Structure 1
Amino acid sequence: MTAPRALASPGAIFLDPRGSDRALRVSWHQEADVVVLSLWRDTVCSATFRLGIDEVPDLIDLLRDGLDLAYVRARADRTA
């Protein structure tokens, strides 16, 4: 997987493993108390989602739980 690229404001770009023409951009907008998740194809934004900063910890917890489960499954597969 490709490492995220930095944006001018606090944020990053994550490339989709299906092709580099697809990307997820994540940017903080502290003035509006939101994090914006946007889906891009080449240079065209196809969708955005504004996540309130009070909901960011829940998203982080969900991603962490999924990552923990992936590691548990990978270890089980290696020992099987």
Structure 2
Amino acid sequence: MQPVRPLPAAGSVFFDARGDGRALRVSWHAESDIVVLSLWRENVCVGSFRLAVDEVPDFIELLREGLDAAYDAASRRRRISSV
């Protein structure tokens, strides 16, 4: 097994809500014009996806739309439950 490589300076780790050592690592590789999304289980990479830099804005927009919809739904639930 190869050793785990540290994240580049532009990167972060997000832990899975299910636990069990699951995580998503996001690393920006400006020298290659890609963002790498990698799935980890403890210290083992179990999958990765290379997203071209020019596709990042669409990816962010998709996440933003989902966040907006989730926020709106949560707000409606709070209003209904307070009535």
> In 1, distance between residues paired with 2:34 and 2:8?
17
Cα RMSD of the aligned pairs, angstroms, is: 1.0
TM-score normalised by the chain length of structure 2? 0.85
State which structure, 1 or 2, has the greater radius of gyration over its C-alpha atoms: 2
TM-score by length of 1: 0.88
* Runs of 4+ off more than 2 Å: none
SS of structure 2 residue aligned to 1:74: helix
Separation (CA, whole Å) in 1 of partners of 2:13 and 2:20? 11
Aligned residues: 74
Residue identity over aligned pairs, in percent, reads 59
Q: Which has the higher strand share?
A: 1
State the partner residue of 1:58: 58
Unmatched tracts of structure 2, length 5 or more: 1-6
CA spacing shift, 1:50–1:8, aligned 2, 3 Å: closer
